[in-house]
Chains A and B, each alone.
Chain A
Amino acid sequence: MRLTQGTFSFLPDLTDDQIRAQIEYCLQHGWAVSIEYTDDPHPRNTYWEMFGMPMFDIKDAAGILAALRDCRTTFPNQYIKMNAFDSTRGRESMRLSFIVGRPKDEPGFGLVREEGAGRRVHYTVRAYVTDRPEGERY
């Protein structure tokens, strides 16, 4: 079950050239690009692990792609996403966030039902991979 979180997630995987074009767009607007990775695909997991600091001082896509390559070699089978942060006054928030790397198998989510007081059922989702501990999921 292909994860559909973030921008472009309903499209096929972006090629390196397409990623480069997106990075150039971000740099043109002066946004700081950062790379994050995780092995927990739950939709409420917003803060993934940071791969290095946000690259606010890199002016060219080649440098950022080098960092992405490093991340892919270090974590070949985890989700990797690229974020662009806009630091202009009044905004100070993420402008673009898209997945650039996925594990080979994505088992997906299951529904969890919990019965509460007065036989009310609370629903939530759980990712099948989180049955296993971190590091052994993919």
Chain B
Amino acid sequence: MPDTDAQAADINLDGVFRDSGVGEVLEGLDRELIGLAPVKSRIHDISALLLVDKLRQQVGLSSDAPTLHMCFTGNPGTGKTTVALRMAEILRHLGYVRKGHLVAVTRDDLVGQYIGHTAPKTREVLKRAMGGVLFIDEAYYLCRPENERDYGQEAIEILLQVMENQREDLVVILAGYKDRMEQFFRSNPGLSSRIAHHIDFPDYSPSELFAIARLMLERMQYQLSPDAELAFREYIERRRVQAHFANARSIRNALDRARLRQASRLFGQRGVNLCRDDLMTIESADIRASRVFLDPSGTDSP
């Protein structure tokens, strides 16, 4: 345990790091989330800051409770909710959040439909999120300036108050598209000033998408035949440029459809004896049957 004597020079950073158990969560983050290099580096920085802050407290140096509210920007399927969940775990291990549960909401969970409806609704959500992390997806929808009967501003005001006065009870993470979030912050400077960390989630590259697919298949205990691997790489290249591509989510959907086709194929071969490998392997035909390969104009969804 670290020395609380201010004269002693050996402040045991390693000891505190080990005791907090944060190392395993950070390693899990590095291992299970593909790519996202800027995100991971920022999370490591935040963890280091919080650890050093803890040490300063123990040695008797002053340390204000750091502002932990964050904003995640990026396209759908880039891992914002997943990282928010890991963030909640990390904060709990470091002792900055008491329970570490994640409450994920959108505008509809916070804003009411009639006068007087918004405040109790928002307060209920905040009550549930106390001791953990509140994740607000598509946060810019809270503010609809063109509709004067919109009660989103009330919700924002309640949020602002809680984000400032109950910092030790709750951490708020906003998420959404980058340009719309910037617009939202311009019209709500109070909110922007309370956010300490703006983290951007870049789109995945094709090789990262393939690595994600590999990880998902491993977890589902499936494997791709060598031909299927080539087919899937081609599938990724084609699908990325088509409409409504949602990164990791689209990959998961594609794999689910491939499993569907594999199951139909196996069912069609009912006379043939199957072995364990057959049940696990996805063949190239299962992937090439997708509409992504048929439609040259790239407007159809697969």
Interface residues of A (CB under 8 A from B): 55, 57-64, 66-67
Contact = CB atoms under 8 A, between A and B. Distances in A.
Contacts of B112: none
Contacts of A55: 127
A62 B166 contact: yes
Q: How large is the interface on B (under 10, 10 to 19, 20 to 34, 35 or more residues)?
A: 10 to 19
A66 B131 contact: no
Contacts of B127: 55, 58, 63-64, 66-67
B123 A59 contact: no
B176 interface: no
B18 interface: no
Contacts of A57: 128
Given A60-B132, A61-B131, A62-B169, 19 more contacts: A57-B128, A59-B99, A59-B101, A59-B128, A59-B131, A59-B132, A60-B130, A60-B131, A62-B98, A62-B131, A62-B166, A63-B129, A63-B130, A64-B127, A66-B123, A66-B126, A66-B127, A66-B130, A67-B127
A62 B101 CA distance: 14
Interface of B: 98-99, 101, 123, 126-132, 166, 169-170
B172 to A, nearest CB: 14
9 contacts: A59-B101, A59-B131, A59-B132, A60-B98, A60-B169, A62-B98, A63-B127, A66-B126, A66-B127
A60 to B, nearest CB: 3
Contacts of B169: 60, 62
10 nearest interchain CB pairs?
Answer: A60-B131, A63-B127, A62-B130, A63-B130, A60-B130, A62-B169, A59-B99, A60-B99, A59-B101, A58-B128
A43 B47 CA distance: 54
Contacts of B126: 63, 66
A126 B297 CA distance: 85
B254 to A, nearest CB: 35
A95 B127 CA distance: 23
Nearest to B170: A62
Contacts of A58: 127-128, 130
A63 B130 CA distance: 6
Nearest to A27: B99
B100 to A, nearest CB: 9
A61 B130 CA distance: 8
A60 B144 CA distance: 32
A3 to B, nearest CB: 28
Contacts of A63: 126-131
A55 B131 CA distance: 15
Contacts of A59: 99, 101, 128, 130-132
